[in-house]
Amino acid sequence: MTTHSSLSVTIPFRRPKVAMGEIDTAVAAGIVAAASDIALILDRDGIVRDRSVSSSDLASNGIGDWLDQAWIDTVTGESRHKISEMLADALAGKPSRWREVNHPGDDGEVAVRYFALSAGEDGRVIVLGRDLQASAALQQRLIQVQQSVERDYLRLRQAESRYRLLFQSASEAVLILDASTRRIREANPAVTRITGREEAQLLGQPFTTLLDPASQTGAGDLLGSATGTSATRSLVVGLAGGGSASLSASMFRHDRSSSLLVRLTPETIAVLDDPNAALNAVLSRISDAFVVTDTDLRILTANPAFLELTDLASREEAMNLPLDQFLGRPQIDVKIMLSQLREHGALRNFATVVRTRLGQQDDVEVTAVVVPDDSRPTYGFSIRNVARRMALAAPAPILGGAVSQSVEQLTHLIGRVPMKDIVRESTDLIEKLCIEAALTLTSDNRASAADVLGLSRQSLYSKLRRYGLGDLDD
């Protein structure tokens, strides 16, 4: 009696012999080939006696060209036990099940899903296989898409956490309003501090309830303009509980809806709650210029006094400009200042000049300090204009004009003019002092003064005219 392995099907044919009848061998071969990507006919020893390959992908990888080879020798090492179990079950008439094995191919391992069943008393076995390369590619793409979605979700969660932390810890009051109704959607704890209302009491309420009635119209106009333009402007408004604050608003879109980001910044609260705000307020109003640079003397920030001193229009214009473009005499002062800062970490009352963008020059005093930082050390410069102070002091020597009045005044020229000009000024000063001393010694007898000085009377008169000494009318 012929035995066949039981098929693991849920609903089998009720009368297969009657339904199939005497099917022609060619028809049966066509059915087997059409029902699988690869079909094998094995003998009792598991040798491939015939095969049919319907998948071009399998054929291009060299899969199926195994005539007269043992089927178990065509798979990878970890799949050999699966082949042995499938052949043993088929020959023993046990129910068969699909097993996935791997074949070494030209482009790497190729996965195929097989089903084996007995084909007769002589031990023949029919093996049907389905190519899993397309499924593996789809599965790999699914895994990649899933990983991408998980990464995007993680980034969103991290961004949400950062937003929440910033929103909750901000020192200024921040509210999220519905752009159309202008009702409060979210409010940070700072809103509660300046209004005295809890967050639960604020949600869903009109924003204008936080403002003094006299400021509601102006605030409404500002919110209306924020929905129509990306430019941000501010307005000082009165608060319902007393006091005033600077109001600014900007619009953003999310989930096809528009919202307004509104900020309320009371100046007094900002200064009291944030010491840096008080320091920034002082630096923005102080008359001395203040500038911060990196170690290459590139400007990082500057106060309005520096912008005014150098004729720059804005802080943004000053960013990344070299400080020596404005400060110090070329190739002299900057080297001295840097050397002092790097060696001692501080510089005090260094006399130099500052040049404006238009080329004008003023005398200044510079005090500087190094702010050490492991990642980004910076230099801070305080620049004081001393041109008025020098104008009120005794007049300095003027080259080519009036003669210097004291040796001390000559020292102020060091670094400001070339040394040969200072030497010439010094010579003129000493010569004038010697003539004055000789005239005093001889009671203004010019003939005797000329003899004391070792000069001819004509040379002495020439020098008296040069220095404007004595009455030469006689």
Cα–Cα distance between 76 and 51 in angstroms, integer? 19
pLDDT at 121 over 70: yes
Alpha helices by DSSP H, listed for 170-299, are 189-195, 199-202, 213-226, 267-273, 275-285
pLDDT at 25 over 50: yes
pLDDT tens per residue, range 51-86: 888 877 787 777 878 888 898 988 998 889 998 988
Query: In sequence order, what are the beta bridge partners of 252?
Result: 259
pLDDT at 4 over 80: no
Cα–Cα distance between 109 and 130 in angstroms, integer? 15
Cα–Cα distance between 34 and 136 in angstroms, integer? 21
At 221, is the pLDDT very low, low, confident or very high (cuts 50, 70, 90)?
confident
Yes or no: say if 306 and 283 are a contact pair by the CB < 8 Å rule: no
pLDDT tens per residue, range 223-235: 888 887 766 677 8
Pick from 267, 254, 258, 188: nearest CA to 226: 258
In Å, how far from its chain's centre is CA 160? 18
Yes or no: say if 437 and 467 are a contact pair by the CB < 8 Å rule: no
At 395 the pLDDT is 47
- Mapped onto helix, strand or coil, the DSSP state of residue 235 is strand
At 368 the pLDDT is 92
Domains and their CATH numbers in the chain: 16-131 (3.30.450.20), 170-273 (3.30.450.20), 286-392 (3.30.450.20), 407-467 (1.10.10)
DSSP result, 46-58 = -BEEEEEE--HHH
Q: Angle 446-453/419-441 helices, nearest 10 degrees?
A: 130
At 418 the pLDDT is 66
Q: What is the mean pLDDT of the chain?
A: 80
pLDDT tens per residue, range 126-171: 888 888 887 878 888 899 999 999 999 998 888 888 888 888 887 7
At 5 the pLDDT is 46
Yes or no: say if 368 and 312 are a contact pair by the CB < 8 Å rule: no
Helix (H) or strand (E) holding 105: strand 99-105
Pick from 173, 367, 389: nearest CA to 266: 173
At 318, is the pLDDT very low, low, confident or very high (cuts 50, 70, 90)?
confident
- Mapped onto helix, strand or coil, the DSSP state of residue 355 is strand
Query: Sheet containing 346-355: which strands, arranged edge to edge?
Result: 299-302, 289-293, 378-385, 361-371, 346-355
At 461 the pLDDT is 86
Average pLDDT over residues 26-43: 78
Average pLDDT over residues 445-451: 82
pLDDT tens per residue, range 288-302: 899 999 888 899 889
Of residues 340 and 275, the one with the higher pLDDT is: 340
Average pLDDT over residues 456-470: 83
Yes or no: say if 323 and 291 are a contact pair by the CB < 8 Å rule: yes
- For residue 382, count other CB atoms closer than 10 A to its CB: 21
State the amino acid at position 337 in one-letter form: M
pLDDT tens per residue, range 355-385: 888 888 888 999 999 988 766 788 999 999 8
pLDDT tens per residue, range 387-413: 766 555 544 444 444 344 455 556 666
Helix (H) or strand (E) holding 367: strand 361-371
